[in-house]
Amino acid sequence: MTDRDWQKVDGVIERGHQVASGSAFDTPYPGGTIEMQVPCFKELGLDLTHCFKATINVSIRPSTFQLVNPEFTFREVKWTDRHPPEDFSFSRCRVWFKSTSYDGLIYYPHPETKKRHFQSPSIIEIIAPLIPNIEYGCRIAIAYNALEVTVNHA
C-alpha cells in the first residue's frame, strides 16, 4: 500500500455507546447497527462481511481528528426504518496491537445526519476483524492515511 501517506496516532480503547454491537441495555437494534448496515455497504461496493460486527472506540484525547478526503462516502443510506437515511464515510487504516497489525477502516457516521449516539471528535471508531485479547483500556496505535484523515494534536 505504497500509495498511502501513512502516519500513526496512539490511543486507548474506550467503551462506546454499545449500539454498534447491540450490547447496550436499551438498544432498539438487538443485533447491532453494524450488522444491519453491512449489507447496505456491501451493495454500495464496500464489503465488511469479514469484520467483527462492532466498532472499536479509540480515544486519541486530547487530540482530535477529521476525515478530509475519505476513500468511501455513502450518502442517504437507508439501513433502518426507525429514522431518516444517514451519510457514512470510511478510510482504510491499520490497528497496531501487541506488535501485530490488523487492517481496518475508520467508520464515520456523519453527525449532521445522525439522530443520536454522537461521538467526541477525540474518538476514532474503527471497524476491523476480531482482534484477540483487545479490551477496554488497552493502548493501541492507528496507522491512518494522512491524505484522507487529519489528526489535530493538542
* Residue 1 within any structural domain of the chain: no
Q: Region 101-125: what's the mean pLDDT?
A: 86
Q: How many domains does the chain have?
A: 1
Residue 30 confidence (pLDDT): 59
pLDDT at 20 over 70: no
Grid coordinates of 103: 487492517
Q: Around 6, how many Cα atoms within 13 Å sit in the side-chain half-sphere?
A: 13
Cα separation values, 97 from 63, 88, 139, Å: 20, 26, 7
In the structure, what pLDDT confidence band is assigned to residue 17 with cuts at 50, 70 and 90?
low
CA of residue 2 relative to chain centroid, distance? 23
Q: What is the mean pLDDT of residues 3-20?
A: 82
The Cα–Cα gap between 106 and 9 comes to: 13
Instruction: Please tell me whether the overall predicted TM-score, pTM, comes out greater than 0.75 for this model.
Output: yes
24 confidence band (pLDDT: 50, 70, 90): very low
In a domain, 123, yes or no: yes
pLDDT digits (tens, 9 = 90+) for 40-67: 999 999 999 999 999 999 999 999 999 9
CATH code of residue 94: 2.40.30.30
Percentage of the chain beyond pLDDT 90 is 69
Dihedral, CA of residue 2, residue 37, residue 150 and residue 16, to nearest 10: -120
Instruction: Give the domain extent around 24.
Output: 6-152
